[in-house]
Amino acid sequence: MAEATPPDTGRDMETVTSADGTEIAFEQTGSGPPLVLVHGGVCDHRFWELSDVSATFADHCTVYAMDCRGVGESGDATEYALEREFEDVAAVVDSIDEPVTLLGHSSGALLSLEAALRTDNLRKLVLYEPPIAVDDHELYSDAVLAEMERLLDEGENEQVLVLFLQEIAQSTPEEIEAQRSAPDWQDLVDAAHVWPRSLAAIGEYEFDAARFADMSTSTLLLSGSESPPFLRDATASVNGVLPNSRIVTFDGHAHEAMLTAPDRFTREVLAFVQEGT
């Protein structure tokens, strides 16, 4: 089991060393059964604080909200590969001394799905719309990625984030404004180089259903009725592959129900965590 250690930071964070030696940070709060939170793109672990979701979870669970590599308090490496991020999530899960529920949102859901194959310390899995290309869907156009890279080269870091939220996550103006007004926004702007590289890698990811056919972990898939079709179809495809999963749909909401319907979101997750206990 990997051993977590406190980093030298002003926040109450801990770190664990991932497989390639990169330090991955997480914040631990609350008490109860362990719940690991993995944020999506243009976020760090503070995303879960925007609508007090992490605080609500912490009333019932020991919450481990991690920073993906390159953002927040987590380290980074010179060379990037999506596989390293799968290992990062598994390292956090393995640092906990009892089986955990792992919750990932958006790209964090993809990382969590793959991490589930890399750890034996998983009790349950919650995936909110992993960005997996299925059928004829494309996650992004080459033009959007090229524009993000151009903006990055020109130092227009904030516009990289806004373009990502508009064109990739297809966030509503209200969701974008909620993130822009958050205290971590400038930190995310400073880490703008992370988003085009991860987006490009996720676009090249190939979902091999056979690898997950025997994954018996109890899995809750979350989706918004107003989310982009490619995300809803990806969720349905994962549900069709996993042998022990079900879908809950947030009617009238899109890709970030934790912001637009936080009470319903936390209620569904906590009911699943507590199921069978």
- Kindly state the helix (H) or strand (E) to which residue 175 belongs, with its residue range: helix 173-180
Amino acid at 93: V
The CATH number that applies at residue 85 is 3.40.50.1820
54 within a domain of the structure (yes/no): yes
67 is a domain residue: yes
How does pLDDT run across 238-274, given as a tens digit for each residue? 999 999 999 999 999 999 999 999 999 999 999 999 9
Give residue 232's domain range: 13-136+206-274
Q: 223 and 249 in contact (C-beta within 8 Å)?
A: yes
**Does 98 fall in a domain?**
yes
Rounded average pLDDT over 89-108 = 98
Residue-averaged pLDDT of the chain: 92
Q: What confidence score (pLDDT) does residue 11 get? A: 52
In a domain, 86, yes or no: yes
Give how many domains the chain has, as a whole number.
Answer: 1
Dig out the tokens for 258 from the structure: 């934790």
Residues 6+ apart with CB under 8 A from 222: 126, 127, 128, 129, 235, 247, 248, 249, 250, 257, 265, 268
Q: 157 lies in a domain? A: no
Does residue 7 register a pLDDT over 60? Answer: no
**Residue 145: inside a domain:** no
Whether the model clears a pTM of 0.85, i.e. scores above it, the answer is yes
Q: Count other C-beta atoms under 10 Å from residue 264's C-beta.
A: 15
Distances (CA, A) of 248 to 8, 100, 171, 182, 239: 40, 20, 20, 28, 11
> Is residue 201 very low, low, confident or very high in pLDDT (cuts 50, 70, 90)?
very high
Place of tokens 């930190």: 187
- Angle ∠(144,147,148) on CA atoms, nearest 5: 90
Closest CA to 199 of 61, 82, 87: 82
Residue 6 lies in a domain: no
Written as six digits, the tokens of 28 are: 């631990």
In a domain, 50, yes or no: yes
Q: What is the pLDDT of residue 5?
A: 44
- Residue identified by tokens 């590289």 is 197
Whether pLDDT at 10 is above 60: no
125-139 mean pLDDT: 89
Indicate the pLDDT class of residue 235, thresholds 50, 70 and 90.
Answer: very high
Q: Are 199 and 164 in contact (CB under 8 A)?
A: yes
Contacts for 200-208: CB closer than 8 Å, 24+ residues apart: 200/145, 201/80, 201/81, 201/82, 202/82, 202/107, 202/110, 202/131, 202/139, 203/133, 203/138, 203/139, 203/140, 203/145, 204/82, 205/82, 205/110, 205/132, 205/133, 207/132, 207/133, 207/134, 207/237, 207/238
